[in-house]
Structure 1
Amino acid sequence: MKVSVLRAIPVLGWLYLAMGILLAASDRAPANRLLRAVFWIDAFLSIVVHAAQIPAALRATAGTGHSPVTTAAMTQIFGITWWKTQEAA
């Protein structure tokens, strides 16, 4: 699968979170329980799981020329789809 397609998945997740926050701020959050559940699952995966991947990403990209700050930021945004696909990109 193409790297850009893999990286689009977390970007879509972040866009879903942003849309949910904007809708909630304007009192137009969806009443549908499934959409709310997907929002909270996405929030957990995007924030907690991506953050938990940072130590592994730092180990995996050590010595590759990527700064630790860049590695941490890109892993927080894209998760494993960033640091596991560095060779393919």
Structure 2
Amino acid sequence: MTTKWQYSESFAETNLKMLENEALCDVIFAAGNEQKQLKCHKVILASNSPVFYAMFCGTLAESKDVIYVPDIESSTLYHLLRSV
């Protein structure tokens, strides 16, 4: 089933819509002391950030289903993930 957002001229716009809809997300970050879960896409993060590329594809790549990041508030991480 296709939806209107899939016909956007901007690749970034369609990726953002998929993030907002949590469509095909393959990694979860648990942020802050409350461990709020934020779902996102490894390929988008890795293709736009050398840090995320190393995190997912490097020698010491994360293999866990959930990545805990207690030292960042969930709202801050959410804004970071939206900007990648």
TM bin (shorter chain): under 0.3
The structure that is strand-richer by fraction is: 2
Q: Which has the higher contact order (CA 8 A, sep 6+)?
A: 1
The structure that is helix-richer by fraction is: 1
For normalisation by structure 1, the TM-score amounts to: 0.25
Q: Which has the larger radius of gyration?
A: 1
